[in-house]
Amino acid sequence: MSEDADDSPRLALIGDEFPEMTVNTTHGELTLPDEYEDEWFVLFSHPGDFTPVCTTEFVGFEQRREQFEEMGVNLIGLSVDRVHSHLKWTEWIDDELDVEIGFPIIADEGGSVGERLGMIQPNAGTSTVRAVFIVDDTGTIRTILYYPAEVGRNLDEVLRAVEALQFSDAEGVATPADWPNNDMFGDKVLLPPPGTEADADARLEEAEEKGYDARDWWFTLKDR
């Protein structure tokens, strides 16, 4: 491996602290993650302004912005377009679709932010792919999602992921597939599996005492 490769920054991963960076946006210069200190934020990239799928996504994020804010979550977009392009694009969205984009959009000219976060990928050209980073109130990356340019994101899934993360943090539980609307278990949540034989025995006793739905020592559900 070359020296340059050794010196190149490692891509941010789940569980990492969000890397410090100063960015130029439609709301002015911002420093991340400090701008959202003690708050959650969702950073999402799009391949380019004035493109149809990206336009539907930005409209969708804006339409759900109040729901994100009710959960204490800030939204911030990103692409390699310049600020004036972002401004003209959001002006078009307002004029033609009657939706005013209220969150900032990063102008990542040169792609340095996108490269650092893995949003610019070798087989996807020089534009950013559809990436989503969910960052918690400690500045820790909790979820990363990638979509190709031709597939629009499921924005309700981003909301669901935030809700699940926040509930898991607060209650010390895990959430089943499709929570809170799992086909078999509804909005029940899962207790962390015991780590020892003694804890496994205690779990079954605890489940009986508290009325938990214990299918086995390692698979125990309780009401939300």
Residues marked as catalytic:
54
Q: Greatest CA separation found in the chain?
A: 65
| CA gap 122, 48 in Å, rounded | 17
| CA gap 27, 83 in Å, rounded | 9
| CA gap 141, 138 in Å, rounded | 9
Q: Which residue has the tokens 């969708």?
A: 60
Q: What is the pairing mode between strands 40-45 and 73-79?
A: parallel
User: What distance, in Å, lies between the first and last C-alpha atoms of the chain?
Assistant: 50
